[in-house]
Amino acid sequence: MAADRAPLILASASPRRLALLAQVGITPDETLAPEVDETPLRGEMPRSCALRLAEAKARVALRPGAYVLAGDTVVARGRRVLDKPADADAARAHMALLSGRRHHVWGGIALVCPSGRVFTRVVDTVVRFKRLSAHEIERYIQSGEWAGVAGAYAIQGRAGAFVAAVNGSPTNVVGLCVHTTCKMLEGAGYPCA
């Protein structure tokens, strides 16, 4: 920890979020994996879900005198949230739903400052998949890359070949909009550069 700033805690077990922060020279002093039920609430819109979950994760990891940064990624087709699939059948259904269509990736970001003040943002990125053949879907399912990721895909992996267009922040799709996160940290007095 630098002597001239409060510590930064990343409230996330995601190696992708840690790597994205490292990419811009930010190394959290600590990482925690907050246990939060990620099930959307009845009638909850995807955008609201991403924001609620990010804020809940930040609050679980609160440490006096520290910055706590948390993020959550929600992949949605319309109002339907495409969760982290429980098994290959669920992942297959997600891929079939995304095939040849546009979907939203909502990135919720929450930052709790040493003062206790909370800043939140939601970033929306629209992703369009090419039309996938049954063979492409099956080959992807066999890779196992769908496990543990929202929407059953990671853009930086094999599913990157399915992405025809991205409108918005590519890092948001990976797991954390770096641009918005840096703006939030700098606005809260945490040195990013």
Task: Indicate whether this model's pTM tops 0.95.
Answer: no
User: Residue 13: pLDDT band by 50, 70, 90 thresholds?
Assistant: confident
Q: Which residue has the higher pLDDT, 186 or 1?
A: 186
Phi, psi of 104 (to 5 degrees): -105, 140
Among 4, 29, 72, 83, the active-site one is 72
89 classed as catalytic:
no
CA 150 to chain centre: 8
Question: Has residue 165 got a pLDDT over 70?
Answer: yes
Distances (CA, A) of 169 to 86, 137, 175, 179: 27, 25, 10, 8
Residue 63 main-chain phi, psi, to 5 deg: -135, 130
Measured distance CA(169)–CA(91) in Å, rounded: 24
Domains of the chain: 8-187 (3.90.950.10)
CA-closest candidate to residue 77, choices 91, 92, 52, 94: 94
For residue range 97-118, what is the model confidence (pLDDT) as tens digits?
A: 999 999 999 999 999 999 999 9
The model's pLDDT over 17-32, given as tens digits with 9 standing for 90+, comes to 999 999 999 999 999 9
Q: Are 126 and 103 in contact (CB under 8 A)?
A: yes
State how far the Cα of 53 lies from the Cα of 71, in Å rounded to an integer: 8
Instruction: For tokens 């099956």, name the residue.
Output: 138
CB-based contacts of 148, cutoff 8 Å, min separation 6: 84
